[in-house]
Structure 1
Amino acid sequence: MSRGDVILRLVELSKVFRGEKNVTALNNISTSFKRGEFVAVVGRSGSGKSTLINILGGLDRPTSGDYFCEGNNVSRLNEGHWDALRNKKIGFVFQNYFLIEYLTVYQNVEIALQFQNVPKTMKDAKIRDIIDKVGLKKHIHKRPSQLSGGQRQRVAIARALVKDPDIILADEPTGALDYKTADEVIKILKGESEDRLVVMVTHDRSIANKYANRIIEIENGDFKHDLVKEEIEQTYQNVFRKIKPVSLKKRDKFKMTFNKLKSSLIRNFFIAFSLALAFSFSIIFNGMDRGINDGYENYYDALENTDSNSFTVVTEEGMIEQSEFQALLSRMNNKLTTSNEELSIVVGNSADVIVYNDMVYNTKNDFSDPDLFADHKLRLLESNLRDYEYDKLLLGGSSLPKGSNAIMVTSQFIKTYYGAMSKAEIKSYVGNEISVPRYTFTKQPSLPLVKQLLNNSVVTSDGVILFKDDPSIQENTHDIRYMEIKVPNYCYSQEELTDFYKGECNTYFSNDLDDSFATYEDYKAYIDKLKNVTGSISGDDTYYNLLKRSNALYYIDDYNNSTYLTDVYEYIYQYTQKTDLIDAFYKDMNQRTTFRIVGIVDNLHESIIYMPKDQYNGLFQTEDTSLEFVSSFHTVHYKGTDHDEVEQTEDYKQSIFYILSGSSYLLEGLKVTNTDPLSKTNLCNQDVIADAKTKEETILDSVFYVNNYKGCMEEKRASSYLDMLNLLFSSFFNILMVAAILFYSMLIKVIFKARINEIGVLRSVGSTIKDIKRLFFYEVLYIFLLASILSLLLIVVLKYGADYWFMTLTNSDSRVISYANVSLLLGNNHSIVNISYINLLVQIIIVIALIMYLSNKNVSKVVNTNPIDILREVV
């Protein structure tokens, strides 16, 4: 390549701007440009000067004609080859400088070399040399905002010269400068024209006349004059060979992106933080929704998995041979255990039957003391407590009943027995001591068939009581008016009772269960009177105790204002003298022992006492060595932990019902009796397992239930509250997701608008469209990654904050929290927020896909347009 080579040649080239009215900027121009020429293009504004220089630099395209660069027609090159051409052969100097404001002088110049494969050390030397050459050595680390107009233009010249181009195109390089500064700038360009082509557009004819060796005047798109002041001899014509575009190195991409981010660090941080807020709050709201609903279902799942039944087997006629009883009991146990492997059966001593002289007898209460275990559901536990799931539901400070004299109860038991109301008050009973009965079994004489005697007796008009079959009965007889006393005998010593049993007694005096006595005083006065009457008959309390053991205490009503109390009990006493008393077996609760409540199960649906079976068996005693204890089915529990409502409830019902509702031939001579009192405060539905009233040939003496806790969960008012809460949280989640997506699109537009100038500059120095897209995407990706990191931090903070708030608000230190009549069972980490990492991953994928789509869409729209249109938009 030598001075005089024809570098550029135009052949009948035209440029027409299409619109409502077509404007011809260049009209059928033919000319050529040589190496070594300093060409000044002059003319009035709008004459076509800038259009010419933009087409020469490939920033714009001609409408028609041909454009040759070193003998190769480049008028129809694709963008990639034009990028390579600008990168290799063309340097631009613009009137508005088009410097990148956040870069230093050094970095602005460096941009031109980043698209060339220049070794790092050589690149640094070239940059510093050219900066020194344009007189900016002392300003090398300054940013454009710290420079004067002339200095900024010198940076632009240095950027054009640093890659040593064959062609320099300067569009009004002195338009914004004073005369002195303009002269200095032109001198630099003039000095570079010795062995390269410099084409300068200027409106200053004096500069053109002073420095240019060729002046072209354009008027209305035509070359009006083409004055060659210094003829340069034309030499050998080089043929330009197409070169491939050079991609920006990854290191430079990251460096340029980092510089951009660093220039607006605070702004970028707040953009990322705003994204993170929307991102994290949407995840947290979703997590709280999941956590609350999962906790609600987990609570009832746990209750369902701890549900069980308890029953005892007694003799149908009151007695049966021990061998036959044990054989039948063994058959029953085998049937029950083999019907479903998921059933867990815990057996313990039965308080309802006892063995005497190889015979099994049904036992009776002596009705003297309250029986804590009979008034509440009793569940026995095996010694291996790890097999139970109650630990999930334990209140804070609770534990499973290990060690001696330790029991566990439900929160409903504490509420019922002690009258505690709040969660904190219920928890305060952990460690409380409670008196439990010891069962003492004795054989005592009993009076049979007293009810039948009174039902078949009448009172004559002179007050004589006769049996209905007595031949001496005349007319005007009346039935004896009596009622069974429903008030438990232990209510007589009410001052010695606990508050719970005082309350139980008061329910009888308030006409709820017995309309015989209005007050405790009425009841006590009647019993005192009864004791006196029976004492006067027998001479001591023997007769009264016999009546009490035989459950033969009656309330005798007045008839015609006459009291037959003495007469009736005298009549019964005479009956005892003629009738043989029978041996009966009684359980007495006079002796008591103290147990400590070590665990409270958060269950407000049932009042239950839990204790290890060996502890319970230790409460059985008898002074008569001829009496033996019999085992009973105290806890029949379904062991499944992963079954839903239908599987668990139906399997449980079928397994127990299979044996409990069997035909009488299977267990002839026995009765199965439910020992679970139906809770007065049970809040859940109960499904009937077996009902003696509705089934024929049954061996059942009671109705058996299984609690449908999952059905209860669905019907409780709290369920509708949670549905509303679910709707609220879902709305928040969706709103924040939409807000985040809108924010992402706004973010891309903001970044795009801030980088239009940079895109134009990069296109002018030879950057490929692909590199610009990646630079743009990297910036968005960096901000998104920062937003993601901040989101994770915020999610952790918000998660622990929400957990702390819930635990504080509910005053809970266990896995079960209760608030507004809603109970939730938290996971092992005690968290109310259940983060869905699948949702998190899906959201990240959606956002990344959105970023890629929007960034590609916005950048493609710009970079695929003519580079000069991008630069015009900046101006």
Structure 2
Amino acid sequence: MLELINIKRSYNVGGIETRALDGISVAFRQKEFVAILGSSGSGKTTCLNIIGGLDRYDSGELVIKGKKTADFSERDWDAYRNNSIGFVFQSYNLIMHLSIVANVELGMTLSGVSAEEKHKKALEVLEKVGLKEHLHKKPNQLSGGQMQRVAIARALANNPEILLCDEPTGALDSTTSIQIMELIKEVAKERLVIMVTHNPELAENYADRIIRFQDGKIISDSHPHKERPKADEFKLKKTSMNFLTALRLSFNNIRTKKGRTILTAFASSIGIIGIAVILSLSSGFQTQIDKFQRDAMAEFPIIISQTAATIDAESMQKMRADNKEEKSAYAATDKVTLYDPTDTQISHKNIFTQDYLDYLNKIDPNICSSIGYTRLVSMNMVRKVDEKVIPVTLSSKDSTSGNGQSQGGGLASAMGLSSYPKQLKADEESYLTKNYDLMAGAYPTSATDLVLVIDENNKLDYNILKNLGFDTEGKKNINFSDIIGTEFKIIPNNVYYTKTPVGTYLPGSDYQAMYDAGEDISVKIAGVVRQKEDVAMALLNPGIAYSDELSDMVIKNAKTSDIVKAQEKSDLNIITNEKLNEETKDTFLSYLGGNATPYVIMVYPYNFNDKDAVTDYLDQYNKGKDTKDQVVYTDLAATMSSLTSGIMDGITIVLIAFAGISLVVSLIMISIITYTSVLERTKEIGILRALGARKKDITRVFDAETTILGVFSGILGVVLAWLLTFPINSILYKMTELNNVAHLEIEHAVLLVAISTILTVLGGHIPAKMASRKNAIEALRSE
């Protein structure tokens, strides 16, 4: 025998009953009512079927406030359970990892009640059920009767119209049962209470209306209700759970499983650690490569020279090819093709027009750090030594033997470079400060400042200082202080050269008069510099180095000189009377300062990638021009560029791909762990659904849990990877002497945390969706 008891006020039963049941009409056919109850006929099944929504059964029709439940959407049922029905379960169905206050607040959270208001209401109902002293305890710290009181408080918190009690005293002793029934009777003064019980004594002692069931059929009703038509007055506030609430609920759950959470996060972070370490090393090695490239560019710039060269026409065609990616086709034959190279060779000389120089000066400073010019102008220099003015030169030639050779090796020696490049960006560090240590004095600050360049052993050809007027006889070394501040005067052509009666010009011999003329450019040695130890290659020869601005100053002065004007009109050397052709005449005019056109131009890209952009820019000038008008260049770093380009990127991609496998494993593991969490929290899912949580809200709870795990594992992985950079750097320094190679960039760290979070959420989303589809009845039955 089952009894369904309606506990109400003991007086005016009809009026209260009518008011309490206002708008609720039930019309079932007897044979269909059995299906509603379920084959077991248990009272629990009856209440749980109500939780699930009676509209899913075709056995009858339920009308709520004039609206048929057959028209209810799933969200309508969720809202109805949350707003109009309060459930008190036989087994309490509290969420154990939440405090009793949080358990009571949960239903109001789904109703969208503000945090302050729901906390206030939770305290009120808990005080009402006699739990004021136990507010912050967890359910497992309470007795059975106290837990049932929490369940009643939770049911009352949302002020429902109907309170459904499923065997509320079934798990309690008789004394506690009486206390709970008295509490329920008190609650029944303000709302309709429906209770299912097997205890006829409770029904007789507390019920105003008793409906008896047997084998799924109503066999008696003590106060039958007469229904009357009602208008559709059905209005419900939709339930929802925001993501912040879901995060808080999930965080409380995770906090109860600290050990498992930490192990899970660590396992998930292994892939992040691997990728973070790889990116740290890649970033560091790329910095070292960029530094090496920058140093290499100093020794291997793109060289554009006026010197006539014999070039293979086919090679030149390749050099100026529009498509830089185009490759020569390899012949598929077993024969040797013979040819005469002289048939395809042409003699080409670059002509540096003002248009070309202007074009070159417009190059993007973001791809080109500096441009160096070598001009052939002679410096007519004199110096006062011991009150005597003597001529001096910047040459390293032995003045006694007449045989000299530039010191140093490689390109700098071959080209005899003595002027340093000019930076294109005014705010960028100069070539000298970047590549040379200051040994004494100061770096140049003006065009008239010179520097003395020495090699790594502080060695310098004694002829250089001897030709500059220093006493080197029998000396093994000279103090820096004896060199710094030494002044020279560059004498103008009109003062330096004297015209002879036969129309030629010769250098004058009255150096004191030249010195005193006052038309000179005064220069001085400002500092002594040496190539930095960490710079692989540098440009300048040992000796005096100066800026291109100084060459410009000399040329501007010399262009209007008498000797230059005379040489421009003559086909003979104005000094030796030797016959000059067009090429030698141009060279000699440049020597006298009559031609400002550079002899050699060197373009310095920042790195190998920028080198390609620079060559593209240079090739753009040649498009559409005849061969004779084109300007060709020599790219000494092209081979090295082709070998090293993309190597670091390729290695990084491969290593990240391998490390990414562990991320996939982590994703699968997170799916398994989330699924396990779903199984563990099945009853919690049922409780949330009974309280009116939507399927979307259940999904959101588990998505929030995986979000927390993803963020935590990402941060843990990044922190561990950062800590690993210290021993890695120490080991690499001992093995390679490369300092601080492993360096985790902040943007990489943020990206990896984001990737960890996204992948973890993706991995847990399918189990989360599975959780949301769980049937509330079955979920509540689980243990």
Match of 1:709, as an amino acid?
A
The answer to whether 1:282 aligns with 2:275 is yes
Structure 2 counterpart of 1:51: 45
**1:139 & 1:65 partners in 2: Cα distance?**
44
Which residue does the alignment assign to 1:382?
Answer: 419
Amino acid at match of 1:110: E
Q: Deviations over 1:614-670 (max 9, x none)?
A: 59999xxxxxxx9999589886412455775556569889999xxxx999xxxxxxx
Aligned pairs for 1:354-503 (under 5 A) are: 371=405, 373=407, 377-378=412-413, 379-382=416-419, 386=423, 394=435, 406-407=452-453, 429=457, 432-438=458-464
**Residues 412-440 of structure 1: CA deviation (Å, up to 9, x unaligned):** xx6xxxxxxxxxxxxxx5xx344443387
* Aligned partner of residue 437 in structure 1, secondary structure: helix
2:213 alignment partner in structure 1:
217
Alignment correspondent of 1:570: none
Indicate how the Cα distance of structure 1 residues 650 and 807 shifts in structure 2: closer, same or farther if over 3 A, else same. Answer: same
Would you say how many aligned residue pairs link Structure 1 and Structure 2? 583
Match among 215, 234, 249 for residue 242 of structure 1: 234
Q: Specify the code of the residue in structure 1 equivalent to 2:272.
A: F
Match of 1:154 in 2: 149
Aligned pairs (5 A) from 1:26-425: 27=34, 46-58=40-52, 61-70=56-65, 72-75=67-70, 77-116=72-111, 123-124=118-119, 126-193=121-188, 196-204=191-199, 207-208=202-203, 211-212=206-207, 213-219=209-215, 222-223=216-217, 226-228=219-221, 230-231=222-223, 234=226, 241-248=233-240, 256=249, 259-260=252-253, 275=268, 278-279=271-272, 281-289=274-282, 291-293=284-286, 295-296=288-289, 299-300=292-293, 302-304=295-297, 306-307=299-300, 335=352, 341-342=359-360, 344-347=372-375, 371=405, 373=407, 377-378=412-413, 379-382=416-419, 386=423, 394=435, 406-407=452-453
**3-state SS in 1 of match to 2:16:** coil
For the structure 1 residues 836 and 231, does the alpha-carbon distance in structure 2 shift closer, same or farther, using more than 3 Å as the test? closer
Match of 1:757? 683
* 1:515-530 to 2 correspondences below 5 Å: none
| Contact 2:419/2:540, CA 8 A, preserved across alignment | no
**2:311 aligned partner:** none
Shift of 1:93: 1.6
Q: Give the secondary structure class of the aligned counterpart of 1:438.
A: helix
Query: Could you say if the C-alpha distance between residues 53 and 166 of structure 1 is closer, same or farther in structure 2, counting changes exceeding 3 Å?
Result: same
| Structure 1: distance between partners of 2:90 and 2:650 | 64
CA contact (8 A) 1:760 1:870 kept: yes
Give 1:863's aligned amino acid: S
Q: Aligned-pair RMSD on alpha carbons?
A: 5.5
- Matched-pair contact (CA < 8 Å) for 2:296–2:537: no
Determine the structure 1 residue equivalent to 2:26. Answer: 9
Q: Distance in 2 between matches of 1:200 and 1:654?
A: 90
How much has 1:731 moved relative to structure 2? 3.3
Report the Cα distance in structure 1 between the residues aligned to 2:733 and 2:776, rounded to whole angstroms.
Answer: 61
1:609 to 2:605 alignment: no
- Hey, what's the Cα distance between the residues in 2 that align with 1:851 and 1:100? 25
CA distance in 1, matches of 2:431, 2:188: 92
Which residue is equivalent to 1:709? 637
In 1, the alpha carbon distance for the partners of 2:236 and 2:698 equals 17
Tell me the alpha carbon deviations over residues 485-513 of structure 1, each in whole angstroms, 9 at most, x when there is no partner. Answer: xxxxxxxxxxx999xxxxxxxxxxxxxxx
**Residues of 1 paired with 2:351 and 2:268: CA distance?**
65
Contact 1:434–1:597 at 8 Å: present in 2 too?
A: no
Identical residues among aligned pairs (%): 22
Change (3 A) 1:190 1:345: same
Equivalent residue, structure 1, for 2:603: 638
Structure 1 residue 776 displacement after superposition: 4.2
Cα–Cα, structure 1 residues 720 and 786, in superposed 2: closer, same or farther, change >3 Å?
closer
Mapped to 1, the partners of 2:439 and 2:235 lie a distance apart of 80
Structure-2 change in CA distance of 1:398 and 1:753 (3 Å) = farther
1:104–1:140 Cα contact (<8 Å) kept: yes
Change (3 A) 1:602 1:142: closer
- AA matched with 1:758: E
Q: Deviations over 1:586-622 (max 9, x none)?
A: xxxxxxx9x966223767689973554359999xxxx
Q: How far apart in 1 are the matches of 2:378 and 2:620? A: 24
**For 2:656, which of 730, 740, 763 is the aligned residue?**
730
**Which deviations, in whole Å up to 9, do the C-alpha atoms of 1:749-807 show, x marking residues without a partner?**
45545554333222212233444444444444445445555566566666677667656
Once residues 365 and 121 of structure 1 are traced to their aligned partners in structure 2, the CA distance between those partners, rounded to angstroms, is 97
Question: How far apart in 2 are the matches of 1:858 and 1:737?
Answer: 18
CA deviation after TM superposition for structure 1 residue 83, in Å: 1.6
Match of 1:520? none
SS in 1 for 2:689: helix
* TM-score for the superposition, normalised by structure 2: 0.59
SS at match of 2:223: coil
Q: Does structure 2 conserve the Cα–Cα contact (< 8 Å) formed by 1:292 and 1:833?
A: no
Shift of 1:835: 4.7
CA-to-aligned-CA distance 1:563-584 (integer Å, 9 cap, x gap): xxxxxxxxxxxxxxxxxxxxxx
C-alpha offsets along residues 374-407 of structure 1, whole Å, 9 cap, x if unaligned?
A: 7664353436764697569748999997576631
- In 1, are the aligned partners of 2:686 and 2:775 still within 8 Å (CA)? no
Worse-matched range after superposition: 179-188 or 647-656: 647-656
Structure 2 CA distance for partners of 1:255 and 1:28, relative to 1, 3 Å:
closer
Deviation at 1:78, TM superposition (A): 1.6
- The separation in 1 between residues aligned to 2:620 and 2:251, in whole angstroms, is 69
Q: Structure 1: how far apart are the matches of 2:128 and 2:151? A: 13
Q: CA deviation at 1:153?
A: 1.7
The structural deviation recorded for 1:66 is 1.8
Kindly state the Cα deviation for residue 146 of structure 1 after the two structures are TM-superposed. 0.6
Judge conservation of contact 1:166–1:197 (CA < 8 Å) in 2.
Answer: yes
- Does 2:532 align with 1:600? yes
Please state how far the C-alpha of 1:54 moved relative to its aligned partner: 1.6
C-alpha offsets along residues 665-707 of structure 1, whole Å, 9 cap, x if unaligned? Answer: xxxxxxxxxxxxxxxxxxxxxxxx99xxxxxxxxxxxxxx956
How big is the shift at 1:140? Answer: 2.1
Q: Answer whether contact 1:305 1:639 (CA < 8 A) is retained.
A: yes
- Counterparts of 2:417 and 2:400 in 1: how far apart (Å)? 24
Equivalent pair of 1:102/1:263 in contact (CA under 8 Å) = yes
- Secondary structure (helix, strand or coil) at the match of 2:130 reads coil
Question: Distance in 2 between the 1:53 and 1:338 partners?
Answer: 94
Q: Structure 1's 254 and 606: CA in aligned 2 closer, same or farther, altered over 3 A? A: closer
* CA 1:648–1:83: 2 relative to 1, 3 Å: closer
Deviation of 1:870 after TM superposition, in Å, equals: 2.6
- Please state how far the C-alpha of 1:138 moved relative to its aligned partner: 1.9
| Structure with the higher fraction of residues in strand conformation | 1
On the 8 A contact 2:696/2:772 being kept in 1, the answer is: no
Change (3 A) 1:2 1:392: farther
Tell me, what secondary structure is at the counterpart of 1:299? helix
Match of 2:497 in 1: none
**Structure 2 residue matching 1:344: 3-state secondary structure:** strand
What SS does the aligned partner of 1:4 have? helix
CA contact (8 A) 2:372 2:419 kept: no
AA partner of residue 142 (structure 2): L
C-alpha distance in 1 between matches for 2:744 and 2:295: 18
Structure 1 segment 468-867 matched on structure 2, within 5 A: 598-600=530-532, 609=541, 611-614=543-546, 636-641=601-606, 644=610, 706=634, 708-715=636-643, 725-726=651-652, 729-742=655-668, 744-746=670-672, 748-749=674-675, 752-753=678-679, 755-786=681-712, 806=732, 810-811=736-737, 833=743, 835=745, 837=747, 857-867=766-776
- Compared CA separation, residues 126 and 392, structure 1 to 2 (3 A): same
User: Structure 1: any 5+ residue segments left out of the alignment?
Assistant: 16-25, 30-40, 315-331, 352-362, 415-428, 442-495, 499-592, 619-625, 664-688, 691-704, 814-829
Q: Structure 2: how far apart are the matches of 1:655 and 1:235?
A: 97
Between structure 1 and structure 2, the one with the greater Rg is: 1
Instruction: Normalising by structure 1, report the TM-score.
Output: 0.54
Give 3-state SS (helix, strand or coil) of 1:406's partner: strand
Contact 1:371 1:437 in 2 (8 A): no
Q: Does the 8 A contact of 1:347 with 1:613 survive in 2?
A: no
